[in-house]
Amino acid sequence: MTVPIDQHNEGVKKNVTFRVFRFNPQVDSKPYFDDYTIPVERGITVLRSLNYIKEHIDASVSFRAFCQAGICGSCGMRVNGRSQLACTTQVWDVLARSRDEGIIKVEPLRNLPLIKDLIVDMDPLVDKMKHYSNWIDSTMPEASMGKKEFLISEEEFLRYDKATDCILCASCVSECSILRANKEYVSPAVLLKSYRMNVDSRDSIHGQRLAELVKDHGVWDCTHCYRCQESCVKSIPIMDAIHGIREDAIESRGMKDTSGSKHAEAFMSDIEKKGKLVEATLPIRTNGVVWTLQNLLPMAVKMIMKRRTPPPPPLVKSAKGIKIFREMFREMTEHVKQDHKSHKK
Amino acid sequence: MKPFDVVIVGGGGAGLYAAMEAMKTNPSLNIAVLSKVYPNRSHTSAAQGGANAALANKAKNDTVEMHIFDTIKGSDYLADQDAVDVLCSEAPKIIRELENMGTPWSRMDDNTIAQRPFGGATLPRCCYCSDKTGHTILQTLYEQCLKKGVIFFNEYFALNLSVNGSRSRGLIAMNMKSGKVEAFPARTVIFATGGYAKMYWNRSSNAAGNTGDGQAIAFRSGIPLKDMEFVQFHPTGLRKSGLLITEGARGEGGYLVNKDGERFMARYAKEKMELGPRDLVSRSIETEILEGRGFDSPAGTYIHLDLTHLGADLIKSRLPQIREMSMQFEGVDPIEEPIPIRPTAHYSMGGIDTDNFGRTVMQGVYAAGECGCVSVHGANRLGGNSLLDILVFGRIAGHTAAEEAQQFEPGTISEGELKEQLDEVRGGMHSSGNYERYGALREDLGKTLASNVGIYRESSLLQKGIQEISELKERFKKVRVFDTSDVFNTNLMQVLELKNMLDLAETVAAGAYARQESRGSHTRVDFPVRDDVNWHKHTLATLVNGKVVLGEKPVTMGRYELQERTY
């Protein structure tokens, strides 16, 4: 049975206040918010509302928009604190979850330089894509291209299928907790793209890319907060890519490669032996004696003064039920190893 | 600024392929790509379906020749047959080339590139990557351009060519980030700015920026535009946004229903019903709306695409994207309610007149992709041929420009010219006498085009359309740019885009009025049949002393004689 929309929804409007972040570097010394209240019916997106405000109330409100269909990635912004595409976000849906009734707060993406109002500079992201060679450097010489296809299995295609959904909207960049502290950090989107290139059999610079990824500000800086993945507008499992690069790094470059991998190894070994961390020696095992003395000695002295030092290794007792735990640990690592083997096939 | 050898305007599939090929042809050249968006935002990304190439991976008996014939027939015999030869013969090579550079094509069981059937094609030859083909091609090209070190000027809005007699000295563009008008002196300029179907505004599936900037600049510089009257309409666009609901929804068994609850396709295509050819379904929906059997709403009259009878399971498993789009852009869940739809303008067959090498009549100026018109699509483009067009002719234009750049003296653009441009673009910011809002003008342009130069065309309607467009152009002289800032002035950019759309709308309406026949996408109620005696020819629109002057150009024939187009 067909229900005409008009009977129960069409024409019903709600007054919505859009609290829009404003900043014009030519005249403003600091940002501020402007409120615009407009009637919004069901089915209207945040982007269409901003268009309406721009056309009917204040033409100076500035934001990017292009395809308006969720595929070009231009209109990434924070709506009620959450980074997303304005063009695929329904006003009524957001309204239902608004903390301040009837108010939707619209702000620019974080972690990228602000240009004006809701517009941020995307150049840093492009620069990182270049730095981490986010392209296929084909094993086929340019002169021979176009003559025959590489044969690619469905299984290989599936390895990078999801990753190639990325539209570089930078929602993940905006949500990343590492980038907030360190703007030089590689960024989730660039890790995802790097992973996509690394698992492509047509690529010839996998080793070179990986060598760059394990350096400072690279793949080991991620703290697994999963915010990138949660905010991804295309629901891409970005963390799988980050883990993928790490596993690959350990596998092909060895465990002693970087402080990140050594840190992971120290964690593993503690958990296996004692079921908990031996914190006192962790910095030494991760970064070496010299680094620890140079960087952590003052803090260690302070901790001793305040009696906050972790117990020395001999005093760290094994956790309760360690025997059963070790058995579980062995089973799990065995399982992971098997998984790796089948992945590689 | 040091003169460039090649300046490419537009960073979509055609522009990026041109840049890559130009660098490959002569690595010592100084090449730049200007784009009003970051190149990866370009509208190429929106192409879902795929690109045709007779690889014969799926149908082993497929040949380039069959692809050629399908394309010519699809064009209603208005395509130039030598150009179609180039398009289809280059197709397998270019698809493989992209594959070799990393495009993630979907695969068949034997690990070769997968192909699927598409409208108007005899055999399955459409190469695809799920439903994101354009997106992945654009990504690949952008990545390869970054790898090659192509110089990008992102978020630059092209304003005009600097012209000296019969040749160009380069391009003048506005840097959006600073608001400054800058000179790009160049030996050659390639226009690859995409289509112009956004002039139909919210009755268009196009991106907001598909405003035909390159065509408008070329037109104002005296370069002729070809076959502008041919605009393709897709039957099922969402009512509010014009965005496409793909044919798959009807393929899975969706009904088209009018406000009387009637499956009206029974009256237009008794056997095929909802699955009739695209232009027929578009015309049928339009008839229902015109005859008062549509639903009225503030966002316009529409009809229903009803999927509710298909059940939640099928909709969720086979049509998840369509469901997502309906919910995101209309707030309607198709499991529970029918989707409001109406036909939407989505492709422009016309464009800058070029030869098979991308050259225009002006020395050192080239065009490619939807921006140009070779012509390979004639009066009607086949699905899967648009991506192919931008790739093949983008590459050819890049190659030609790189080869010919040395023939041309580098131009110089004077400070005076820049100052003049700057004064012109900022003219609308003065409060004296400027009061028209661009939003209202743009809305009115879309409306007049949809109702007078839309799916059904007829002499008196077209005259009305031409009249209204000229009134809108008068009103535009009083348009006000309310945002007077320099940094990222999107208000100014929208006004400049509207100017381009108005100029092009005039050529679309003029061509449609002149062409007294029905061919491909162009349907004249008063001239319902194809007239090969008088109208088997291209129209050329040229700007002479501020007026559109229509000329004509013969169609290049070849192995295929004129036939009636039936499916």
Nearest to B100 among A3, A89, A138 (CB): A138
B536: confidence class by pLDDT, cuts 50, 70, 90: very high
Do the beta carbons of residue B258 and residue B294 sit within 8 Å?
yes
Q: Indicate whether B495 belongs to any domain.
A: yes
pLDDT at A2: 41
- The band of B147, judged by pLDDT with boundaries at 50, 70 and 90, is very high
CA B209, CA A40: separation in Å to the nearest integer? 25
Q: Report the distance separating Cα B278 and Cα A70, nearest Å.
A: 24
> In the structure encoding, which two tokens stand for residue B552, read together?
């004509």
Query: CA nearest A117 in B: which residue?
Result: B488
User: Is residue B278 among the annotated active site residues?
Assistant: yes
Count of structural domains within chain B: 2
pLDDT at B1: 65
Shortest Cα distance from A189 to chain B (angstroms)?
Answer: 13
Contact B101 A145 (CB under 8 A): yes
pLDDT at A266: 81
Question: Where is average pLDDT lowest: A251-265, A320-334, B263-277?
Answer: A251-265
What confidence score (pLDDT) does residue A256 get?
A: 58
CB contact under 8 A, A153 and B129: no
For B260-310, what is each residue's pLDDT tens digit?
Answer: 999 999 998 888 788 777 778 898 999 999 999 999 988 789 999 999 999
At residue A1, the pLDDT reads 36
Beta carbons of A167 and B96 less than 8 Å apart: no
8 Å CB contact between A197 and A203: yes
Q: Which residues in chain B have Cβ-Cβ distances shorter than 8 Å to A116?
A: 485, 487-488
What band does A255 get if pLDDT is binned at 50, 70 and 90? low
Measured in angstroms, the CA of B107 and the nearest CA of chain A are apart by 6
Beta strands in B349-422 (DSSP E): 351-353, 365-367, 372-373
Q: Which of residues 235-264 of B touch A (CB under 8 A)?
A: 240-241, 243, 257, 259, 261
Least confident of A175-179, A296-300, B345-349, B455-459: A296-300
Share of chain A above pLDDT 70, in %: 94
pLDDT for residue A133: 98
What is the chain A residue with the closest CA to B243? A69
The closest CB to that of B487, out of A67, A115, A148, belongs to A115
How many contacts, defined by CB atoms under 8 Å, are there between A and B?
207
The last residue of a domain, from among B294, B312, B343: B343
CA distance B358 to chain A (A): 21
**Whole-number pLDDT of residue A342:** 64
Q: Please pick, among B169, B187, B203, B278, the residue that the annotation labels catalytic.
A: B278
- B291, B318, B343 - which closes a domain: B343
User: CB-based contact (8 Å) between A42 and chain B?
Assistant: yes
Residue A3 has pLDDT above 50, yes or no: no
Angle between the N-to-C axes of helices A259-274 and A238-253, in degrees from 0 to 180, rounded to the nearest 10? 90
Q: What is the CATH number of domain A13-120?
A: 3.10.20.30
- On whether any CB of chain B is under 8 Å from the CB of A28, the answer is no
The predicted pLDDT at position B245 comes to: 86
Mean per-residue pLDDT over chain B, rounded:
94
Q: Provide the 10 A C-beta neighbour count for residue B324.
A: 14
Residues contacting B419, CB < 8 A, separation 6+? none
CA count, 13 A, side-chain hemisphere, A166: 28
- Residue B385 in contact with partner chain A when CB distance is under 8 A: no
CB contact under 8 A, A68 and B208: yes
Residue to mutate among B26, B35, B41, B264, with most A CBs inside 10 A, is B41
Q: How confident is the model at residue A321 (pLDDT cuts 50, 70, 90)?
A: confident
Residues 119-148 of B with CB under 8 A from A: 129-130, 132, 135-136, 139-140, 143-144, 146-147
CA quadruple A146, B387, A134, A192: dihedral sign: negative
For the stretch A193-227, pLDDT in tens is 999 999 999 999 999 999 999 999 999 999 999 99
Closest CA to B129 of B32, B47, B220: B47
A145 and B100 within 8 Å at the Cβ level: the answer is yes
Residue contact B94–A146, C-beta within 8 A: yes
B67 band by pLDDT with thresholds 50, 70 and 90:
very high
Determine the average pLDDT of the residues in A280-304. Answer: 81
| Burial (0-12, 13-18, 19+ Cβ within 10 Å), B545 | exposed
Q: Which chain A residues are closer than 8 Å to B93 by Cβ? A: 146-147
At how many degrees (to 10) do helices A188-198 and A123-131 cross?
A: 30
- Rounded-to-integer distance, Cα A68 and Cα A47, Å: 8
Q: Please tell me the least confidently modeled range out of A34-43, A196-205, A251-260.
A: A251-260
Which chain A positions have a beta carbon within 8 Å of B331's beta carbon?
Answer: 42-44, 90, 92
A123-253 is classed in which CATH architecture? Orthogonal Bundle (1.10)
The amino acid occupying position A243 is H
- To which H or E segment does residue B549 belong? strand B547-554
Interchain contact A164–B (C-beta under 8 A): yes
Q: Across the interface, which of A88, A119, A129 has its CB nearest the CB of B146?
A: A129
- Does A63 contact B at CB distance below 8 Å? yes
A122-159 pLDDT, tens digit per residue, is: 999 999 999 999 999 999 999 999 999 999 999 999 99
Is A73 in contact with B41 (Cβ distance < 8 A)?
A: yes
Nearest-Cα distance to chain B for A80, in Å, is: 17
- Nearest-by-CA chain A residue for B298: A11
Beta bridge partners of B305: B256, B339
Structural domain includes residue B243 = yes
Q: Do the domains A13-120 and A123-253 sit in the same CATH topology, yes or no?
A: no
Query: Domain range for residue B526?
Result: 416-530
Nearest to B257 among A2, A48, A144 (CB): A2
Interchain CB distance below 8 Å, A59 and B45: no
Q: Determine the angle formed by the axes of helices B13-25 and B133-148, rounding to 10 degrees.
A: 30
* CA end-to-end distance (rounded Å), chain A: 51
* Nearest chain A CA: its distance from B306 CA (Å): 8
Query: Where does the pLDDT of residue A303 fall: very low under 50, low under 70, confident under 90, or very high at 90 and above?
Result: confident
At residue A8, the pLDDT reads 45
| Contact status of A48 with chain B (Cβ, < 8 Å) | yes
A138–B101 CB contact, under 8 Å: yes
Domain check: are B437 and B518 in the same one?
A: yes
Q: Is B485 on the interface with A (CB under 8 A)?
A: yes
Considering chain B, what percentage of its residues have pLDDT values greater than 70?
Answer: 100
In 3D space, the residue among B155, B152, B193 whose CA is nearest the CA of residue B175 turns out to be: B155
CA atoms of B289 and B291, how far apart (whole Å): 5
B242 band by pLDDT with thresholds 50, 70 and 90: confident
Residue % of chain B over a pLDDT of 90? 83
> What pLDDT score was predicted for residue A340?
66
Other residues' Cβ atoms within 10 Å of the Cβ of residue A120:
23
Angle between helices B459-476 and B438-452 (to 10 degrees): 170
Tell me which residue of A76, A55, A64, A184 sits closest to B201, measured CA to CA: A55
Task: Enumerate the domain spans of chain A.
Answer: 13-120, 123-253, 259-344
Q: CA of B460, closest CA in chain A: separation in Å?
A: 32
- Tell whether the model's pLDDT for residue A4 goes beyond 60: no
Report in angstroms the alpha-carbon separations of B349 from B63, B79, B342, B567.
25, 10, 21, 21
CB atoms within 10 A of CB B311: 10
Nearest CA to A36 out of A131, A139, A125, A117 is that of A117
Q: Tell me how many degrees the CA angle B111-B117-B120 measures, rounded to the nearest 5.
A: 145
pLDDT exceeds 80 at position B141 = yes
- The token pair at A251 is 């596998």
Residue A147 contacts B where some CB pair is shorter than 8 Å: yes
Chain centre to alpha carbon of residue B109: 34
Q: What DSSP state is assigned to residue A302?
A: H
Q: Is the pLDDT of residue B366 over 60?
A: yes
